[in-house]
Amino acid sequence: MGKLRFWMGLLLAGGVALAHAQGNPAAGKEKAMVCAGCHGEDGNSSAPIFPKIAGQHAAYIAKQLHDFKSQKRGDPTMGALAEPLTGQDIDDLAAYYSQQKITIEKTEANALGETIYRTGNLKTGVPACTGCHGFGGNGNPGAVFPQLNGQYAAYVEKTLRDFKAGERGNDMNGMMRALAARMNEAEIKAVADYISSLQ
């Protein structure tokens, strides 16, 4: 009986902690004003080099902001903006952006990109992107794998090149670095084009 109470107490405490960790979208909207210059008022950036964060999983947004804050993910601009954020600020921003609707441009699907995204490249050991990001590019919020569908091709290209060069290293167990290192430039561009076409 004592052990049961102990575990019940832990579960209840965990539930309280999770409830406290949830962000406030209304507060996040106010705090997002400084983000609008690059990411747009609703998280749909107008410049293809800046990622769309509208509709992105809250857990993923929060992880990236924490990584920028701790400099685990290096970027001078984002590091400076994230440094003063509190945990609650991060949760609020993540909650706000996750509730926005991503704007997806209509583009032609890239055949090579679709093949690599769906089945990978057995010859070079590149796994299918669907394993983590899903067939529709919806990601996996539980595993903190991001939603990709409708993301700008230019941003996806830059991200894959950064992983390939080891300039970005906040991926789980180095998975993205290992994957991108096996991709050539044509494959990177093709996959990025295909991802941008996913609805």
In the chain, the domains with their CATH numbers are 23-98 (1.10.760.10), 111-197 (1.10.760.10)
Question: What is the distance between the alpha carbons of residues 82 and 104, in angstroms, rounded to a whole number?
Answer: 27
Structure tokens at 183: 């991709």
- Average pLDDT for runs of 10 along the chain of length 199: 39 38 93 96 96 98 98 96 98 98 91 97 96 97 96 98 97 97 97 95
Supply the pLDDT for residue 199: 87
Q: Would you call 1 helix, strand, or coil by DSSP?
A: coil
CA distances from 115 to 21, 108, 122, 123 (A): 39, 14, 11, 13
Residue 58 is predicted with a pLDDT of 98
Q: State the binding site for heme c.
A: 35, 38-39, 78, 129, 132-133, 176
Give the model's pLDDT for residue 105. Answer: 87
Question: What is the distance between the terminal CA atoms of the chain, rounded to a whole angstrom?
Answer: 52
Q: Which segments of the chain does DSSP mark as H helices, in order?
A: 2-21, 25-31, 36-39, 58-70, 76-82, 87-98, 111-119, 130-133, 153-165, 175-181, 185-197
Q: For residue 56, what pLDDT is reported?
A: 98
Annotated binding site: 35, 38-39, 78, 129, 132-133, 176
